[in-house]
Structure 1
Amino acid sequence: MDGFLFCYCKWSGQGSALDKELSKEEIINLLTTADCKAIFYTSSYKNTFKDVDIPHKFQMEVYSKKAQHDQENTWEYLMEEGRKMLGKGDRRYVDMILDPMEVRMLLFTSGTTDVPKAVMLCHKNIVSNVQDISRIVKLKEDDRALSILPIHHTFESSVGIMVVLFQGGSVAFYEGLKYVVKNLAEAQATLLVGVPLIFESMYNKIWKQAEKSDMTKALNMAVKLHKTLKKVGIDARKKIFKSVYSNFGGRLRMIVTGAAAISPNVVRGFQDLGIEIVMGYGLTEAAPLVSGTPDFTDRYGKAGSVGQVVPSGQLQIIDKNEDGIGEIIFKGPNVMLGYYNMPEKTAEVLKDGWFHTGDLGFVDENGCLYLTGRKKNVIVTKTGKNIYPEEIEEYLTKIPYIEECMVYGTDNDETGETIVSVQIRPAYETINDDFGCSDDQDEVYKLLKGKIADLNQTLPNYKRIRHIVIRNAEFVKTTTHKIKRQENVIE
């Protein structure tokens, strides 16, 4: 953990965790938006805040060095002053009576489709959601999570940290993505909370490694044996998949994924390897969980679902189309108080206690929720047909030569029609392994064009991809690895 930012707002005790990967200009913009009066930061940000006009600045160390109590702008100094106050009998902070409905936290939305907004959360929002999540995900006292997501994000702070501690587990913090495997082993972690991109990459690497080692057939046989034994109540996964588990530290037993849709094939694949995988759907505005796949549901059979609504919440699908797909709205004690200093934006999404998520989906006969996309992302053709980019992207990511992609609509200048376009970041390593032509951009384009032509034959005419753009640069993303669509569109 090489950096930390936390701002203290104008209220008595409210704070806002900030994304340490933002630029100086973005950080200052958020500080201003949140009306922050103080900021806590590690030494790596000392120069960043040197000339920032904010009343109080406090430098702290995550891995504490020798305290320098003569410096009044350090975390150590504040802690020492607090101990002195307690020693003199000043217990105002310790004995403070908390209002569960008072704003206590500001968290900024990721801004994948709009400008970031400061979400106001209270203690009741957070506590009720931690309790609900604990009814969905049952942990053991010896469980240990390896924290790999930014801790300013609600998914990580609630699911990856507070829920684990609430149920008696422990948390270790990783050193960076390239050290995940090493840190899993060092921490002897049993639980990993992350986003689909991480787990899809992990799963693909398992099978690529098996292929390189000429062990694909053996791994397939091991999967069949595990499934057969499981049917008769025998759990031998630790022995059967010992080599797989050793790559993840030897104790990993559960994965929790959220923040975006994950491929059902990956969900079933991890379960076939004896690693339980829990899917969830949430938003910052819901602190964050709206739905999840409980222990008592068929996670294997419902691999494409994000589960049932949390126990204390209510969920509805409104403005349904002929396929039953509509906007997801949610009501519950975890719904935010509103957006800070944005009454108009708040009124747009909070109506009669219902939070209008802007996400689209449907609910099956068992009450399981399925996501189909974002309302703002839907491509509407001239004939009134709706195309969900996320659906097409799911088909495309099954092509092994595509690393990442983003589907969007563009207008054809000649016909005036709205056509489906896609930007693709090729999987150059796989292309090179299979064809040896990763350095030839024309050949890479021809290869991908041919694969997409095959895919188009399986799609209705109006959903077919008509325009392909190859990009070598990474997509602009949020820190939770979600593509910022508006910032990546190329005509």
Structure 2
Amino acid sequence: MKNIPLYHVEPIRDLKEMLEKSAKTFGEKAAFLKKDIPGGPYVPVSFNQYKEDVDALGTALIKKGCKGERIAIIGENRYEWSVSYLAVVNGTGIAVPLDKELPVNEIVISLNRAEVTTIIFSPKLTEKILACKAQVPTLKHLITMEQPDPQRAEAEEAPYYSIYDLLREGRELLAEGDTAFTDAVIDRDAMQILLFTSGTTDVSKAVMLSHKNICENLMAMSSMVYIDDKDIFLSILPIHHTYECTCGFLCPVYRGSTVAYCEGLRHITKNMAEGKITMMLVVPLVLESMHRRVWDTIRKQGLAKKVKFALRLNSVLRKIGMDRSKKLFAKVHESFGGHMRLFISGAAAVDPQVSKDFRNFGILTIQGYGLTECAPIAALNRNCDFKDDAAGMPMPGTELEIDAPDAAGIGEITIKGPNVMLGYYHDETATKQAIDARGFFHTGDLGYMDKDKFVHITGRKKNVIVTKNGKNIFPEEIEYLLLKSPYIAEVVVYGEAAEDGETIVKANVFPDYEKIKEDAAAGLLETDTPEAVIRAEIKTVNKQLVSYKAVKDFLLRDTEFIKTSTQKIKRYIEDNQAAH
């Protein structure tokens, strides 16, 4: 640990004060870049305009009788989502962000559990939301994020409002002197956000967060990683998730940066260039896909040896303060829009080699560790002090302890601090199981802390495979090695009891069928039979493992695993536990 001073940050009591300060400081600077027409140019929205829209919508919602009520927000990453969120939490009621990918039955369950009275939704989800209406007794208002439809507005009983009608109504109310929203006092310790964890099991928990939880997290993360008003974020991860919501939406608003909404994963490269993007929050799947695309292009051009030499050279030059990455790797920078300076990866561990390559290309790549229950960041690598194989250092004001460590120092990661949730909604038993008498939240993750106070994650407590002799096997360690194979797209490693009572290690594999076919056709493989190729890859990995960790058998899947919205495989659902 280099003991580098933290960056200065503006103190904020709550998200309402955060928006007021940012609007006052950054005024007419662009807070958001949105597209009014798909494929059209980015249109800037200033900090002043954003605050005006938040105040107008909040005022209109209170006039509709929504004060103190639970309001669900569901849709893709877009400007109206961001307006809705702060319009709810900054003086109206409790925000309930929902995953737009949920099927109707799961949306209904979440709406009923949260006792939602109002839904603000994307027009793309109209059919889903209307299907929910009759199944949620508490529901009173439906608000679409689209422009008003004159024909629908003339109907006797329109099924929903337009957010733009409410914005107009709110502005009129503000002009008449309505201060119900703008004068609202925020209780920073009360539940203001109710989040259903995506989880890697089929049972979600409802996490209660406060303004204090979010604001303490914003201040802590901003003191560790340098972000300023010249940065432009590309918003690509699901915004209902705390990772993107806190770090990719609220943090840029807090720091005076700009958020550009991505049109979809297929448009990332185009949007990076159009928006002059400098920063992105990513998950390993996205980052490693970008990394693979860069290297595929390099190999196809026959430049692999030349580039590897240039990477080694630049690594040496950087150590003596002579970074030549932008000149040496100009085409790589162009492929990311020409302005990228920082990738921050979360949700799972990223391959350290990927981080090193991007850094030597001239784009710093660091990772953090968090959970919804921690609002979400608990540990973070700094832009000026990092380790590629670590999840990061504990956040300022956060205590991180390893509970019941074994001989190797590995135990459950526990966290205490102002970012830790209030508890699980209507589930005191689960709350007491998660937060101990000392106030430490038990994450369920296993890991250790090194001498420099960096946290290293070894796996999930519930995933550990225990052998007959009491030895612990971390599936994630084996999965990491298997995923280095270009022929394995996804894998889940698990333990299964054998007839002799021993537990054997097995793997459920989704191969990269296209890569196998392509390389076999090019003469790079002796066979194009997926089973034979995967067997050989597993044999290679087993040579790197002690015998009791070796993969003894495997299954092949025809389809990808079912995943959460942050691309984590749901290990324990039935469809993911067999070959499909």
Alignment TM class, shorter chain as reference: over 0.9
Q: Give distance in 2, aligned partners of 1:268 and 1:76.
A: 46
Fraction of identical pairs, as percent: 40
**Distance in 2 separating the partners of 1:218 and 1:12:** 59
Whole-angstrom CA distance in 2 between matches of 1:450 and 1:23: 39
1:261 pairs, out of 319, 331, 349, with 349
In structure 2, the partner of 1:410 is 496
For 1:127-166, list aligned pairs within 5 A. Answer: 127-166=215-254
TM-score (norm 1): 0.93
Greater CA drift, 379-388 or 329-338: 379-388
Shift of 1:78: 2.3
Q: CA deviation at 1:351?
A: 1.1
Tell me, what secondary structure is at the counterpart of 1:486?
coil
Q: Does 1:208 align with 2:296?
A: yes
Out of 167-176 and 48-57, give the one that drifted further: 48-57
- C-alpha offsets along residues 215-246 of structure 1, whole Å, 9 cap, x if unaligned? 11221122123223223322322111110111
Q: Secondary structure at the match of 1:376?
A: helix
Asked whether the equivalents of residues 519 and 525 of structure 2 are also in contact (C-alpha less than 8 Å), the reply is no
1:430 aligned partner: 515
Match of 1:390 among 476, 482, 497: 476
Are 2:491 and 2:508, in contact at CA under 8 Å, matched by a contact in 1?
Answer: yes
- Preserved CA contact (<8 Å) 2:148 2:164: no
Equivalent pair of 1:113/1:376 in contact (CA under 8 Å): no
Q: What does the per-residue CA deviation read over 1:308-357, in whole Å, with 9 as the maximum and x for residues that have no partner?
A: 10001000001111111000000000000001111111111011211000
Q: What CA distance in whole angstroms lies between the structure 2 residues aligned with 1:152 and 1:439? A: 43
* Structure 1 unaligned spans of 5+: none
Aligned residue for 2:280, secondary structure, equals strand
CA RMSD in angstroms comes to: 2.4
Residue number in structure 2 paired with 1:58 = 142
Alignment of 1:283-432 (within 5 A): 283-297=371-385, 299=386, 302-352=387-437, 353-412=439-498, 414-432=499-517
Alpha carbons 1:69, 1:77 under 8 Å: kept: no
State the distance in 2 between where 1:48 and 1:19 align: 12
Q: Tell me how many residue pairs correspond in the alignment.
A: 485
1:87 and 1:159 map into 2 onto residues whose CA distance is 34
Match of 2:329 in 1: 241
Contact residue 46 and residue 59 of structure 1 kept, 8 A = no
Structure 2 match to 1:472: 558
Are the aligned partners of 1:411 and 1:419 in contact in 2 as well (CA < 8 Å)? Answer: yes
Q: Where is the helix percentage greater, Structure 1 or Structure 2?
A: 2
Q: In the alignment, is the contact (CA less than 8 A) between 1:69 and 1:76 conserved in 2?
A: no
- Among candidates 274, 278, 297, match of residue 366 of structure 2: 278
Residues 412-451 of structure 1, C-alpha deviation per residue, up to 9 Å, x if partnerless? 2x32321111111112233233223999998221121122
Give SS of 1:329's match.
strand
Q: Which SS does the other structure have where 2:214 is aligned?
A: helix
The equivalent position to 1:24 in structure 2, one of 104, 123, 137, is 104
TM-score, with length taken from structure 2? 0.80
Q: Quick check: 2:282–2:346 contact (8 Å CA) kept in 1?
A: yes
Partner of 1:121: 209
User: In the TM superposition, what whole-angstrom CA distance separates every residue of 1:250-280 from its partner, at most 9, and x where no partner exists?
Assistant: 1111100001111111111211211101210
Change (3 A) 1:441 1:56: farther
> SS where residue 127 of structure 2 aligns?
coil
Output the CA distance in 1 between the equivalents of 2:247 and 2:145.
Answer: 25
What is the match of residue 445 of structure 1?
Answer: 531
Unaligned stretches of 5+ residues in structure 2: 1-34, 39-74
Letter in 2 for 1:179: H
In 2, Cα distance between the equivalents of 1:270 and 1:227?
11
CA distance, structure 2, for counterparts of residue 90 and residue 454 of structure 1: 70
Contact 2:364 2:383 in 1 (8 A): no
Q: Hey, what's the Cα distance between the residues in 2 that align with 1:43 and 1:198?
A: 27
User: 1:463 offset after TM fit, Å?
Assistant: 0.6
Divergent runs of 4+, >6 A: 5-9, 66-70, 437-442
Conserved? CA contact 1:58–1:75, under 8 Å: no
C-alpha distance in structure 2 between counterparts of 1:183 and 1:89, whole Å: 41
Amino acid at match of 1:416: G
**2:116 is matched with which residue: 36, 54, 57?**
36
